[in-house]
Structure 1
Amino acid sequence: MSRRTNSPAPRVRSGRARVVAAALTGALAVVALTGCAGFEYREDICSDGEYPVLSVGGTGSACVPDAEEPPAGFARYPEGKVPEQVDDKWDVYWDTHTLDKDGNTVVAPDAG
């Protein structure tokens, strides 16, 4: 007597499916072995539709909608010295510098 099971018949893969499966397996192995080396996440200072402003006389900052002027006590960063991403060159620089009431760049009084 022959036994009949309800299990599905094995699927036969075409040659193209094998190549795709092998490529995906290889890509996953590379990512697993390198620990995602080469992929670096950088956080933007502000969201789309906003720009960063600096606290006058201090090292604080904020983000303001593009269509608005900076609030009282804040100013736009000097042109060419605007931080764009957390810990970029200008973000680090403005940790120890600020603008005085006349718009001059000075060492921040609270710089450690």
Structure 2
Amino acid sequence: MRTTGRVHRPAALSGVNRATRSVRCLVLACATAAVVLTGCSMADAVCGGGEYPVMTRGGTGSTCVPDGEEPPEGYTRYPEGKVPEHVGDTWDTYWQTHTVDEDGRTVEVPDGG
């Protein structure tokens, strides 16, 4: 074995370090892929599990109701297919400027509504 001023690592240990780095890189790549593929599921949900969102009739307020229960007085279900699921999604943004009136029609909210 030749001696120099540097620390000498035996060849057997350097292979372990490469394998460890490869595993770490693989784990990091999988974690990154998982975050990218889950997309909006990483966003805050409008309601928790076992609940569904309802909106105030004639306004832009909303709340969550336990599954199987009817909306409280003054609230109504969102129209089918237009239910917000995550904070900031298309329907969450839409319902900030729209509401359902007393007749069940979707209308724009008057200024200050």
- TM-score (normalizing by structure 1): 0.69
- 1:57-89 Cα offsets, whole Å, 9 max, x none, are 100000000011000000000001000000100
SS in 1 for 2:91: helix
CA drift at 1:26:
3.2
Task: Write out the 4+ residue segments of structure 1 that deviate beyond 6 Å after TM superposition.
Answer: none
Do residues 88 (structure 1) and 69 (structure 2) align? Answer: no
Question: Alignment partner of 1:75: what SS?
Answer: strand
State the 1:42 CA deviation. Answer: 0.7
Matches within 5 A, 1:1-112: 18-26=17-25, 38=36, 41-110=42-111
3-state secondary structure, aligned to 1:92: helix
Using a 3 Å threshold, how does the CA distance of structure 1 residues 71 and 13 change in structure 2: closer, same or farther?
A: farther
Greater helix share, structure number: 2
Aligned residues: 95
Deviations 1:3-47 (A, max 9, x none): xxxxxxxxx8695x54552124436887xxx9xx84863111000
What is the RMSD of the two structures over their aligned residues, measured on CA atoms?
Answer: 3.1
